[in-house]
Every structure is written in C-alpha cells, then in structure tokens.
Amino acid sequence: MRLLPPHGSRIDRGTSIAFSFEGRRYTGFDGDTVASALAANDVILLGRSFKYHRPRGILTMTGDDANTFVTIDSTPNLLADVVPIREGMNVMGQHYSGSLIGDNGRWIERIAKFLPVGFYYRALFRPRGIWPLWEKLVRRMAGLGRVSLDAKHGYYDKQYLFADTVVIGGGAAGLSAALAAAERGDETVLVERQPVLGGSLNHARFDAERMRGIDTARSLVAQALVHPKIRVMTDATCTGWFADNYLPILQGNRMFKLRATDVVVATGALEQPAVFRNNDLPGIMFGSAAQRLIRLYGVRPGIRAVVATANEDGYGVALDLLDAGVDVAAIVDISARSGMGPLARAASEKGIEIVSGGALREALPTEGGLSVGAVMVADNAGQDRLIECDLLCLSVGWAPSSALPAHAGAPVLYDDSWHGFTVRETPPGMRVAGAVNGVWDLDAALEDGAGGGDIPATPSPNHHWPIFPHPDGKEFVDFDEDLTIADIRNAVADGFEDIELVKRFSTVGMGPSQGRQTASNAVRLTQEANGGLLADARGSTNRPPAFPETLGALAGRNFHPVRVSAMHERHLEAGASMLIAGAWLRPACYGGAANIEAEVNAVRGNVAMMDVSTLGGLEVRGPDAAEFLNRIYTMSYLKQPVGRSRYVLMCNDLGTIVDDGVACRLADDHFYVTATTGNADGVYREMLFRNVQWRLDVDIGNVTAAYSAVSLAGPKSRQVLERVCDDLDLSAEGFPYMGVREGTVAGIPARLLRVGFVGELGWEIHVPSSMGEALWDALMEAGAEDGIRPFGVEAQRILRLEKGHIIIGQDSDALTHPHEVDMGWALGKRKPYFNGARGIEMQMKQPMTRRLAGFVLPEDTAALPEESHLVLRDGVIAGRITSIVRSPTLGRPIGLAFVPPDMGEPDGRLAIKGPRGRLIEATVVALPFYDPDNKRQAL
C-alpha cells in the first residue's frame, strides 16, 4: 500500500508508469524500482531460490542480495530492488518451473536431506560419463534466467577520469569527506550507487523526531552539488580497486576508468541477517529495507510487524513502522543490553511491547508457504511465544562494506569486541570513513569523513551470535545457495576447516551477492565448528568485481585499428574482396574468386597492377648505413652500387628466417629497405634494438605509412609506364632488373624499383601516400588501352609460387634456417658477422633433417590437398605441404613441401595424404616451376 507524503522522497506521484510482472499489469510511479512498485501493489513474492526453489522477496532494497533476481524483457538476472520501472517493461521472476506461485520445481526441497553440500561432487559422477546428463537436469532445475538470442547489441563505451580525491559513497561520511577535500582545493569525484546522494541519511532514523538525517542530508547534499571542485556521480558503482588507485566506475552503459591520488572509501555498512528457521520467507527483511520502502518509496511494507533487533537501529525501524501506520506487534530485543538509547526510549513511550533478551525460534509461513505468517520467539524466561505478523524486520548487526579496502590489501578481520569484521590498516592513498570504519554515530561519521583524527569509539551495533539453530533445520546462512547451519558444519566436518575451503566446498559466499550477507555468520559457524578463535579471523578473499559487471561494460566500445592504403576505396569500387594481413586490409581478388585466374593471366600475358603499399618501408641513413645492413641482413651491402637494389634476408640469433625484402641504395649513406606486410614493425623494432648495441652512426626511420606503392607487372608494363614517366630511361639497358631510380610518374615524385616477385617484367613504384590514389588512377588510365587490370593477393600467391618464391611464415616456420629453403646463396660468406650467422653455422653442423621441395600433381587431380596436409613415407609422417595452388600458367597443381632431404631430389615421388585421407602421388621438381632462366623479369 502507498503511503502519503512526506513518505516517498524518490517517487514522482505525478507520473504513473505501467509494467507487467508475471504477465499481470501493475502501475507504479516514476522513481519506483520494480520491487517497490510491486510492494506498493502488495506483491512481495519476487522469485524463487536457486537450489530449493523457496519463495523469496525483498531483503535489502539495495541490490546487495540475489533474492530479487528477475528477467526484464530479454535481460536476465537484474535486481528488482534497484532497477527502476519503465513504461511497458515485461518483468518475470526467476528460478521456477511453470508458474512463480505454483512452481513445479519446489519438490526438490523435500529431498533436501539427500542433497547435502558437495553431494554432486560425490554422487553425480558415477557411473563414468553420466555427468553430462545430470548437468542438463541440474541446469534446468536451477533456471538461471534465459538469455535472449535475439538481443540487440548495446552501445557501451569507456572514458578515463581523473581526480585528486575520489570518495566512494555519498552518505554522511562520504559527503563530509568530499566537501573537506574540495575545500582543500582537491578536484574531487563523489561516487554514489544510488540515484541520489545522502545514503542512510535519507531513510534511517537518527533521532526520535526523525528530522536529523533529513536536515543533515539537505545541507550537505546542497553544498556538494554546487561545489565547483566536486563532480557528483550518482547511479554510479565502483566495482573494484586496482593498483595506484585505478577504479572502474560503472554508470549507465559507460565504464569510467578513474585514476585518483587519494581514495576515501565511505561505502557504509551492510545489514546482516539473523540465522533461524525459515529466515528467508518473503516478508522477512532487514530493518533498513523496510525503512527504505517507507521513506524513499512511500510503501507500507506490511500490516502487522515484529522487529527483531540487537541495536538502537531496530527501535528506529519500529518508530518508522508506526509512523507508516504499521501495527508493531513487538520488538524482540535479542541483545542483553542494559540501558536504552533515545530511540528505544521513544519506542517504549509509544507503548510498543518490547521482548527483552528474547531469542528467535522460527518463522512460520502462511498457508501456501509463500510469505511469513508468524514468528515464534522465546522471551527472556525461555517461554516460547507465537506472534502473528506479515512483516519481520531484522536489525541485528552490520558488516563493513569493505570490498574496496580488501581489494587494496587492507586486512578485514573479525574483532571480538565489535562482534564483527573491521577494516584494519589501509594502504597509502586510501582511507576508510564512517560506518565502513566502524563509526556508528552521525556526528562522529561526519568528523571521520572530514578526516578529523581520533574518533571516539561507539558501541557495537552487532549481536555477538545471531544464530539460532533449530532441530528441523532450514536456518539459512546463505540465501543465494540455500545453505544452512548444518551445511557449514558438515563442510567443516568433512575436513574443510579453513573458511577458504568451506567457501569452495559449500559455495557459501560464492553466489551473486558474494557473501555480503553471509561472511560474518559463515566465519562464526566455521570457527565454532573447528574450535578456532573468532578474534582476528578473516573472511574469504575478496576480489573484484565488488558488484556485477555486464560483459558489455567490460568490452566497452571496440577499438580495433585497421590500416588501409591510399587506394583502398578504389579497390572497393573495383569489386575487391578484402582480406586481413597483419593490421592491413588488402584486396584478395577483384570481382570474386572466379577472376583470380584472369588476374594471373593478365600478369603473365599482358599487364596488371597490384597495391603493395602495405610492404614495410624503412629509411636507413647515415655514414654507417651500409655497415648496418651488412650486420642485420645476411647478404653483403658494402659494395652495393647506388641505383641498385639487393635482396635482404633477416635471421634471428638461432638462424631462423624472420623477414625478407629488398634494400635500395639511393645514395652512399641512404638505403630504402622494404619488409613484409605483417612484420614491418617487428623489423623496425629489431633494427632499433640492434643499433642500441652497435651504436653505429645511422638513423632508422619507419616510413611504411608514408609511401604508397604499386607493383606494375606484365610484358606490357614498360609501355604503360612510359606513358606516364618521361624523365627516366625505362629501357632494359637504362633501367635493368634490380635497378632503382628516382623520378616522376604522372608528375608524382616516385622511387621506382625493378623487382620481380611475380617473375615478369615489372616495377614497384613507391610514392608519397597522400598521392597514392592519384598514382593508381594515373596508371589505370595509362594502361586502359592495353586492358590493364588490378590483381590481388590471391593471384600474387599463385604467381610467386610459380616462380618458386617463398613466403616467410608460410613456407618457413619458427625453426627454418636458410639452407632448409635452399637460400644458402643469400648468406654472405666473406662477412665477419651478420645476425644469425652463428646460429646457422651451428645448425649446419647437424645433419639436415628437411628441405623445402617443389612438387607437381597430375593435371586431373580433382580435390587438391591443402596447406599442412601430410607427406608420408611408408605410412609414417615425413613432411607437410606449405603452399599449394592450381597453376593457370602450368595447367597443373604445384606446391612446396617440407620433406626429408633425400626425398627432395627432382623426379622423386611423394605420397601426400589429401582430403578424406586419400593418398595422392606427387612428383618432385626443381624450382622454379616457371621461367627457370629468369628471362621474363629481365626483359
């Protein structure tokens, strides 16, 4: 039922919102959560428990427990007590089969005694192989919500945030801390999980008249909101602490990554349950939850209430219930307190019956078992009394909300005199303030927030042992996993004596609420069962995230840098399908795979061009440039003439081939070196690393992105180039194979290299990348009358294989040295040193175990073997294919394979295990397959 104002500070009664729950339509107000709106409609059954399908309702009203898990539209496992209602939303309870009220799965509780903790570790794995069947059943029974496979991608992102001081928690201590930091001049960020600042000031009762909290909140919040040094973030959750005060803060669909000099943790405390039979029935909730319903949402939480308390807070709860028109049947004070505080006196004066020194026996359900109907208590004389009620509020103690200090390494240990956990030392750059620091008085909390030195101790609000075993059990320690007193004791009896082991064996504290309502009682019971001391006992390790994070929030906006050449759009316009090569996108082929053969034929018989901008480009300049290349590459460069290019092969210290390209000598002290597309950055890094040691007078510049390059190839390439290049002699004599010139192409300053990866007459034309598209356009236009066409990586793979050129990384692996791929010719024999020389020498002292050999298959081979298919000898693995294509030029399949040296001689036969295990016979041939005299590239 709704209460009249001033109850309901968060709701706007002028705006009604309709939604459905379990198929029925309800209305609430703007500002309501799902749970508060349903409570206002007298719906208190929200879902079922995970294991036994017990009915569950509101416990905390702060999103700290898993009782209120619901599925909203397509998103499961949302917390009904904190998720705001939205017009038209469709809310369903979870963990049930059939209907929420009639749940077909509730029979499981009747066999609970056969399902002790760890039962499935022991029972469900025999006979062998049976577990998958059980797993299916267990999963169906558990009903962990349903993920919609039609869910749309959400937009999530991340943003860095910086602060001198960040205050986590916007209650009394947090507000005070933020204001104090801001007054000192600190840039301050104040982070609050709830939609408004104020924390417990907004709902708790600090005095009999109840205005103290409201007035304090009003004043502090007003100051904080206008302070120019404070950034207030509400609905924002700090989910963890990481080194150097790096804090993830979730707000909406954004994760802020906040770096702060100082962190003040003012996260308050978490109310803790009493453990007694049926303590999980809907209608049993924390006193603070009832106060939140009343004060924040204007909801009367029940008609007839019992308050079980061990502290002054419970009396405040009773007074609030009275104010809300609830009949308070009794306050059962389970502490042995002498003397009463102002709230207790006020409650007494109001005529509420107080059962002092009482104990909780059990809660009894209504008929149907869906909510609390009465509570059996014992008075101080030990006499049992049954008190009918539909609301039982628990105010028996608190635990510090200590996740963040725990993440930072602060010891959180049990304090015997405080009867609960306390945060001990915090690391430099972090302090705790207010209730999380065990400060239980409003004035003291304000002072503590402001960093006010020694705070006088306040009496503990915690009952020393709020645990009431019952002969029939069902006293729940952990609501997430339906764990009872007996379960904890049994875990210890099974030999799991440490709380970390108890946790893992029994799953206590491992559910969605991560032990927030569990840790204190679990440690009490564990220590009792194994005869240990409670003093300085620790809870299980607390790790981030402190609160649930969605995968979307963790992923954020995807940043996947992709590199494209200046001609990228031209490729797309020409119908290219792109493939990923390192960080680059490259055209695989144009107009579909059916055109690959035509692209190959154009290179062999006419003219074609390829975008090779993705090749690495490195400027090596300085007096020692030639000496530098001489050391880092295997060939000799000291006497390389200006205007010539030379092959470069790079090995690592083991002698393994790691990269290749060409070095163009543009001047005595200037080489322009190319590297493979995928390894350009690696080569650059290696060069810098080596020269730090060699200290040669040389500068290395990575100019990969600064140059676009086109490979113009084919018998007609010269005549095409001549149309756009009039300042260079392009004849075979004037510009021979492996020559390098600087000139202009279509008016664009260019470096021209006569190289031949594809084995035809051709040039690589390197120009400033800002002019790459213009170069592409000019060459396409110049070649139009000859029918020029672009070719892609797929055609190039065929062309180079026909020519017997290897691709490093495909035809070599992490152990391939030059002799294995027949590249001994590329090793400078008369040099004193090059990278990898010693490694190669050592390798060659061993017998060769393999070599790369060319092979051909019969023309009519239908299903080709693939790369990595095996070469067999006498049925045993002897080698593998590294490259294979159907060659349009030779009209048959050709390939390369690693084979034992004796199998690599021309005319030898290889048995290849092809598709579906079929053996295919290949013939070894000498390389290259095409134009063995290299006449075509030298035209």
Using CB under 8 A as the binding rule, whether residue 699 contacts another protein is answered as yes
Site string for another protein, 203-242 (x = CB under 8 A): ----------------------------------------
Q: Which of 44, 445, 519, 38 shows the shortest CA–CA distance to 217?
A: 445
Q: Which of 204, 145, 157, 190 shows the shortest CA–CA distance to 9?
A: 204
Using CB under 8 A as the binding rule, whether residue 561 contacts another protein is answered as yes
- Assess contact for 215 and 206: CB atoms under 8 A: no
Residues in contact with 636: Cβ distance below 8 Å, sequence separation at least 6, in sequence order: 630, 828, 830, 831
Which of 133, 457, 535, 562 is close enough to bind another protein by CB under 8 A?
562
User: Which tokens sit at 183?
Assistant: 């007054």
Kindly state the smallest distance separating residue 223's Cβ from another protein, in Å.
Answer: 22
Comparison of 256 and 315: residue with beta carbon closer to another protein: 256
What stretches of 775-850 adopt beta strand conformation (E)? 789-790
Q: Is 305 left (phi over 0), alpha (psi -120 to 50) or beta?
A: beta
User: Near another protein by CB under 8 A, which window of 260-268, 552-560, 782-790, 866-874?
Assistant: 552-560
Kindly state the smallest distance separating residue 180's Cβ from another protein, in Å.
Answer: 21
Q: Which long-range contacts (CB under 8 A, 24 or more apart) does 375-383 make?
A: 375/306, 375/308, 375/332, 377/306, 377/308, 377/330, 377/332, 379/355, 380/355, 380/356
Using CB under 8 A as the binding rule, whether residue 579 contacts another protein is answered as no
Using CB under 8 A as the binding rule, whether residue 114 contacts another protein is answered as no
Using CB under 8 A as the binding rule, whether residue 563 contacts another protein is answered as yes
Q: Which of 209, 213, 169, 176 shows the shortest CA–CA distance to 193?
A: 169
Kindly state the smallest distance separating residue 748's Cβ from another protein, in Å.
Answer: 6
- What is the distance between the alpha carbons of residues 523 and 488, in angstroms, rounded to a whole number? 9
Comparison of 436 and 752: residue with beta carbon closer to another protein: 752
Residues numbered 729-788 forming contacts with another protein, rule: CB under 8 A: 746-748, 768-771, 773-774
Q: Which residue has the tokens 């005529």?
A: 351
Comparison of 563 and 644: residue with beta carbon closer to another protein: 563
User: Near another protein by CB under 8 A, which window of 409-417, 504-512, 601-609, 700-708?
Assistant: 700-708
Using CB under 8 A as the binding rule, whether residue 629 contacts another protein is answered as no
Which of 85, 208, 410, 566 is close enough to bind another protein by CB under 8 A?
566
Residues numbered 644-673 forming contacts with another protein, rule: CB under 8 A: none
Kindly state the smallest distance separating residue 561's Cβ from another protein, in Å.
Answer: 5
Kindly state the smallest distance separating residue 768's Cβ from another protein, in Å.
Answer: 4
Comparison of 516 and 621: residue with beta carbon closer to another protein: 621
Q: Which of 330, 328, 332 shows the shortest CA–CA distance to 378?
A: 332
- What is the distance between the alpha carbons of residues 865 and 856, in angstroms, rounded to a whole number? 12
Residues in contact with 535: Cβ distance below 8 Å, sequence separation at least 6, in sequence order: 414, 415, 416
Kindly state the smallest distance separating residue 771's Cβ from another protein, in Å.
Answer: 5
Q: Count Cβ atoms below 10 Å from residue 584 Cβ, excluding itself.
A: 21
> What is the three-class DSSP state of 699?
strand
Kindly state the smallest distance separating residue 765's Cβ from another protein, in Å.
Answer: 14
Kindly state the smallest distance separating residue 789's Cβ from another protein, in Å.
Answer: 21
Kindly state the smallest distance separating residue 774's Cβ from another protein, in Å.
Answer: 4
Comparison of 17 and 626: residue with beta carbon closer to another protein: 626
Q: How many helices (H) and strands (E) does the chain have?
A: 22, 47
Using CB under 8 A as the binding rule, whether residue 354 contacts another protein is answered as no
Count of residues touching another protein (by CB under 8 A):
42
Kindly state the smallest distance separating residue 752's Cβ from another protein, in Å.
Answer: 17
Q: Which of 311, 372, 270 shows the shortest CA–CA distance to 60?
A: 270
Residues numbered 147-166 forming contacts with another protein, rule: CB under 8 A: 157-162
Site string for another protein, 580-599 (x = CB under 8 A): ---xx---------------
- Assess contact for 555 and 157: CB atoms under 8 A: no
Site string for another protein, 510-549 (x = CB under 8 A): ----------------------------------------
Q: Is 548 left (phi over 0), alpha (psi -120 to 50) or beta?
A: beta
**Inter-CA distances, 217 with 319, 441, 544, 920, Å:** 20, 15, 30, 84
Using CB under 8 A as the binding rule, whether residue 848 contacts another protein is answered as no
Comparison of 617 and 893: residue with beta carbon closer to another protein: 617
Kindly state the smallest distance separating residue 254's Cβ from another protein, in Å.
Answer: 9
Which of 126, 128, 560, 845 is close enough to bind another protein by CB under 8 A?
560
Comparison of 514 and 565: residue with beta carbon closer to another protein: 565
User: Near another protein by CB under 8 A, which window of 109-117, 127-135, 175-183, 564-572?
Assistant: 564-572
Using CB under 8 A as the binding rule, whether residue 707 contacts another protein is answered as yes
Kindly state the smallest distance separating residue 161's Cβ from another protein, in Å.
Answer: 7
Helix axes 625-632, 680-694, angle to 10 degrees: 110
User: Which tokens sit at 48?
Assistant: 């079922």
Kindly state the smallest distance separating residue 742's Cβ from another protein, in Å.
Answer: 14
Which of 146, 184, 218, 557 is close enough to bind another protein by CB under 8 A?
557
Kindly state the smallest distance separating residue 86's Cβ from another protein, in Å.
Answer: 21
- What is the distance between the alpha carbons of residues 886 and 411, in angstroms, rounded to a whole number? 68
DSSP string, 328-352: EEEEEE-S---S--HHHHHHHHTT-
Using CB under 8 A as the binding rule, whether residue 361 contacts another protein is answered as no
> What is the three-class DSSP state of 559?
coil
- Assess contact for 723 and 782: CB atoms under 8 A: yes
Kindly state the smallest distance separating residue 182's Cβ from another protein, in Å.
Answer: 15
Which of 704, 882, 883, 887 is close enough to bind another protein by CB under 8 A?
704
Which of 5, 129, 382, 559 is close enough to bind another protein by CB under 8 A?
559
User: Near another protein by CB under 8 A, which window of 289-297, 457-465, 559-567, 733-741?
Assistant: 559-567
> What is the three-class DSSP state of 467?
strand
User: Near another protein by CB under 8 A, which window of 24-32, 167-175, 563-571, 722-730?
Assistant: 563-571
Which of 413, 455, 706, 738 is close enough to bind another protein by CB under 8 A?
706
Which of 599, 611, 619, 624 is close enough to bind another protein by CB under 8 A?
619
Comparison of 58 and 566: residue with beta carbon closer to another protein: 566
Using CB under 8 A as the binding rule, whether residue 257 contacts another protein is answered as yes
Kindly state the smallest distance separating residue 552's Cβ from another protein, in Å.
Answer: 16
Kindly state the smallest distance separating residue 622's Cβ from another protein, in Å.
Answer: 8
10 Å CB burial of residue 870 (0-12, 13-18, 19+) is middle
Residues in contact with 823: Cβ distance below 8 Å, sequence separation at least 6, in sequence order: 649, 657
Q: Is 637 left (phi over 0), alpha (psi -120 to 50) or beta?
A: alpha
Helix axes 519-529, 499-506, angle to 10 degrees: 110
Please list the residues that pair with 671 across neighbouring strands.
620, 665
- What is the distance between the alpha carbons of residues 146 and 74, in angstroms, rounded to a whole number? 8
Which residues here bind another protein, judged by CB under 8 A? Answer: 157-162, 257, 259, 557, 559-566, 568-569, 583-584, 613, 619, 621-622, 697, 699, 701, 703-707, 746-748, 768-771, 773-774
